[in-house]
Amino acid sequence: DAKTTQPPSMDCAEGRAANLPCNHSTISGNEYVYWYRQIHSQGPQYIIHGLKNNETNEMASLIITEDRKSSTLILPHATLRDTAVYYCIVRLPGSARQLTFGSGTQLTVLP
Amino acid sequence: GAVVSQHPSRVICKSGTSVKIECRSLDFQATTMFWYRQFPKQSLMLMATSNEGSKATYEQGVEKDKFLINHASLTLSTLTVTSAHPEDSSFYICSARDISGDLRNEQFFGPGTRLTVL
């Protein structure tokens, strides 16, 4: 699986959009970008994934650059409950391998 | 769908005792379950991969005789921490991989078990 780089921490005001970047310059052509988050003392939660087109679901939007070397997870209207560590993971869909977590980004939503 | 449960959610035990943690996939079958450990302010680290009906595969540095894993059915895996010591205090998280349908091979995580060894 390709390596990813994320900023260690970010702050965001409640109600504003939170934009979390991820660099994955060594991503291969058929690898997807996955995002998970982990709220304190809970298990990781799947958010969204994508290959090259922008994706949106009820939780977030995922913007992947045209060269696929970076992506941004967007939480359109952050709430206090979105405070968590966000992990960007690059992998093949349906891979038999386990998910490998980097250090992620600690997002703190401020009131 | 795709719910994974863990029991207990938290446990406190004395040094030298053994603790069993259960991981269940509630609405899907999982031939493979993964056990992770997470120390404070650190990321999740894979301990072992559990395959139904066969022996678990342990990551380097994880003692297989100390962390016993049993995956006797397609919906249950157990992790037993034997002769626990304070350094084993951690957050243990399991995940299960769905083998069928649209969720094939995606991993779903349990809520975690907080182990404190006194």
Mean pLDDT for all residues in chain B: 91
Record the tokens describing residue B98, joined without a space: 């769905």
Whether the pLDDT of residue A110 is over 80: the answer is yes
Task: Supply the pLDDT for residue B93.
Answer: 97
Which residues are paired to B24 by β-bridges?
B5, B76
- Which band of pLDDT confidence, cut at 50, 70 and 90, is reported for residue B76? very high
Q: Between A42, A46, A94, which is nearest B105 by CB?
A: A94
- Shortest alpha-carbon distance between residue A57 and chain B (Å): 16
3-state secondary structure (DSSP) of residue B30: coil
Give the bridge partners for A87, in sequence order. A36
The string of pLDDT tens digits covering residues B32-56 is 899 999 999 899 999 999 888 888 9
| Burial call B65-81: b when 16+ CB within 10 Å, e when fewer | eebbbebeebbbbbbeb
CB contact under 8 A, A99 and B107: yes
CA nearest to B84, candidates B67, B61, B106, B96: B67
CA separation for the pair B92, A40 (Å, rounded)? 13
Find residues 21-80 of chain B whose CB sits inside 8 Å of chain A: 32, 34, 43-44, 46, 49
pLDDT category of residue B104 using cuts at 50, 70 and 90 = low
Q: How confident is the model at residue B67 (pLDDT cuts 50, 70, 90)?
A: very high
How far apart CA B69 and CA B87 sit, in angstroms, is 19
pLDDT digits (tens, 9 = 90+) for A69-105: 999 999 999 999 999 999 999 988 766 678 888 899 9
Peptide bond into A21 cis (omega under 30): no
pLDDT at B28: 86
Residue B4: per-residue pLDDT: 95
For residue A110, which of A40, A7, A18, A5 has the smallest C-alpha distance? A18
**Using CB atoms, which residue from B43, B105, B111 is nearest to A101?**
B43
Chain B closest-CA separation from residue A65 CA (Å): 24
